[in-house]
Amino acid sequence: MAFESLTERMSQAFKNLTGQGKLTEKNMNDMLKEVRMSLLEADVNYKVVKDFIARVKEQALGETVMKSLNPSQMVVKIVHDEITDLLGTEETEIHYQKNGITTVMMVGLQGTGKTTASAKIANLMKKKQGRRPLLVACDVIRPAAIEQLQTLGESIGVEVFTLGVETGALETAKRAMAYAKEQGYDTVLFDTAGRLHIDEELMQELGDIKAFLHPDEILLTVDAMTGQDIVNVAQSFHDQLDVSGLVLTKLDGDSRGGGILSVRAITNVPVMFVGLGEKIDDLDVFHPSRMADRILGMGDVLTLIEQAQDKMDMEASKKTADRLMQGTFTLDDMLVQYQQIKKMGSLGGMMKMIPGLNKMAGQIDDVRAEGTIRKSEAIIQSMTPYERENPKCLKASRKNRIAKGSGTSVADVNRMLTQFEKMQQMMKMMGGMGGGRMPNMAALKGMSGMGGGMPGASKHAGSKKAKKKRKKR
C-alpha cells in the first residue's frame, strides 16, 4: 500500500518524541530529522521537504507549543495540518454547468489507467451526483481502447459514443457533442489518446480538441507508482493544456506515495480523485485531511463509513445487528458478515481505515484472505438450514458430506467452525454497531488474531522479509 513505509517511520518519530519527559529543542530536532528522512525516502521532492520541515520547526519551537500541557500532541497536529496544506487543504470538486452540458477532457500518458478512470468517474457521477453522463471514445490510437471503454460503459449502464478508429478524435468529439445535445445528456467525458511519452503529435491533438470544446475540466490521470515523475508529467501537461485537476490511480499499489505530496506544492494542480483498486467502484473523491490521517496512521473512519453506506446491504446488516443485540449469532449471520466485507473490497485496505486495527493491516495477504473467505462461504452454503442454526450437531459424517459438497477438506470445515465459535463468543460480548451502518467491528476483530486468525494473515506477514517478497511480485 502507498505510504506504508512513510506511516511507519512517522509513527516511530512521534513515539520517540512522546517518550521524552519534556520537549526540548534537541529532541524536537531529532524528531524533525526523522520526519525529513521519512519524507525523502518516500520520494517527496527535496525542495518541498525542505520548506515543509522549516514551517513545522518554526511552529513547533514556538513558546505556545513548548509550554503546553501536551506538546508532543500539538506537534503531531502541526505536522498533520502541514501535510493537509501540502495536499490542498480542501477537496476540489468538478464545476458543473447550471445550464447546458458540462464537458470533461480526460488526458494522460498511456498505461496510467486513463480509460478505466474515465469510466469510474462516470460511474461516480451517475450513482452519487445524480448526473447523466456520456462517455466518448476519442482514443483512436491505442488498440482495443474503444472496446475497453464500451465494456466498462456497459458494466455501469453508461452509453459510449464512438465512430470507430476510422474517424479522427476531433471529428468524434464534434459529433459527440451534437449527439449529447440531442439525447439530453448533462455531462460528457472525453477519453483522449495517450502516448508512452509527451510529444508534439499528442499535444497538437489534445490542443485541437480543447480549442473546440472549451472544456469545463481537464483531468490528468497519473500513476501513483511513478513517484516524483508525477510532478514532471503534471507540469508538462499543465503548461500546455492548463490542467484543472489530477486523477491519481493505483494508490493501492506498493508505492512510496511521495508524488502526491509534491505535485500540488509544485504545480498548484489539485488532486480531485484517487483510484484505490481495480473494481469500478474503487474510486474516491480526494479529501486532503483524510489522506493526512492515513499517512500519520490515524485511520480514516469517515471514508470507511461512506464506503459502507454505498456498498453494503443495509437491510441485511440491520437484521444481523438486531440479532446480535439479542445475543444471537449463527452461521447464517457469519455468512452475511463475510458477504458484506467482500463488498467493501480489500480487507487490508479496510483495516487501514480503522484506528487500532490499522497497524494490523500489513499482516494481511489480501489474495489469501479472499481465498479463505470464499472457502468459508462454500462450507456454510453446503450446510442444511438446520446445521447452520445448530452447528453442534456437526459430527464426522456431516462434516465429510459438507467437505465434499464445498470442495474442501474436513480440516477446513473444522477450522471454519473453530473460527465461528470464537467469533460467536466475541459477538455476544461486544454486540453490534447499531443499525449495521458499517462492518461490525467485532466481526473484523473476530477474524483477526484476537479471534482465531485473520484470513490470509501469518505471523511473518508484516516482517521485512515478507514485504520484500510482496514487492517482487
Asked whether residue 285 falls in the same domain as residue 310, the answer is no
Residue 451: predicted pLDDT: 38
d(CA 146, CA 137): 6
Kindly report the CATH number assigned to the domain that includes residue 171.
Answer: 3.40.50.300
Same domain for 272 and 330, yes or no, is no
Residues 6+ positions from 252 with CB-CB distance below 8 Å: 1, 2, 275, 276, 277, 282, 346, 349
pLDDT at 252: 73
Same domain, 322 and 460: yes
Domain boundary among 271, 298, 325: 298
Residues in the chain predicted with pLDDT less than 70, given as ranges, are: 1-4, 18-23, 63-71, 253-257, 297-327, 341-367, 427-473
CA atoms within 13 A on the CB side of 345: 20
Pair 348, 428 in one domain: yes
Same domain, 312 and 413: yes
452 within domain boundaries: yes
Do residue 308 and residue 294 come from a single domain? no
Beta strands in 91-153 (DSSP E): 102-108, 133-138
Do 48 and 82 fall into the same domain? yes
Both 274 and 338 in a single domain?
A: no
- CATH code for position 405: 1.10.260.30
Q: Do residues 71 and 65 lie in contact, with contact meaning Cβ atoms separated by under 8 Å?
A: yes
pLDDT at res. 445: 43
Q: Are residues 245 and 143 in the same domain?
A: yes
Question: Quick one: 417 and 270 in the same domain?
Answer: no
* Residue among 159, 119, 115 nearest 140 (CA): 115
Structural domain harbouring 24: 4-87
Q: What is the pLDDT at residue 204?
A: 92
* Residue 93 forms part of a structural domain: no
* Residue ending a domain, choose from 87, 115, 132: 87
Backbone angles phi, psi at 108, to 5 degrees: 155, 170
| Buried-exposed string 136-172: b where 16+ CB fall within 10 A, e elsewhere | bbbbbbbeebbebbbebbeebebbbbbbeeeeebeeb
94 falls within a domain: no
Domain boundary among the residues 87, 116, 133 is at 87
Q: Does 111 reside within a domain? A: yes
* Residue 90 DSSP label: S
Q: Based on the structure, what is the number of domains in the chain?
A: 3
Domain assignment present for 333: yes
The pLDDT score that the predictor gives to residue 301 is 47
Shared domain check, 201 and 165: yes
In a domain, 92, yes or no: no
Do residues 59 and 172 both lie within one domain? no
Query: Which amino acid is residue 343, in one-letter code?
Result: K
| Residue 97 belongs to some domain of the structure | no
pLDDT recorded at residue 444: 44
44: in domain: yes
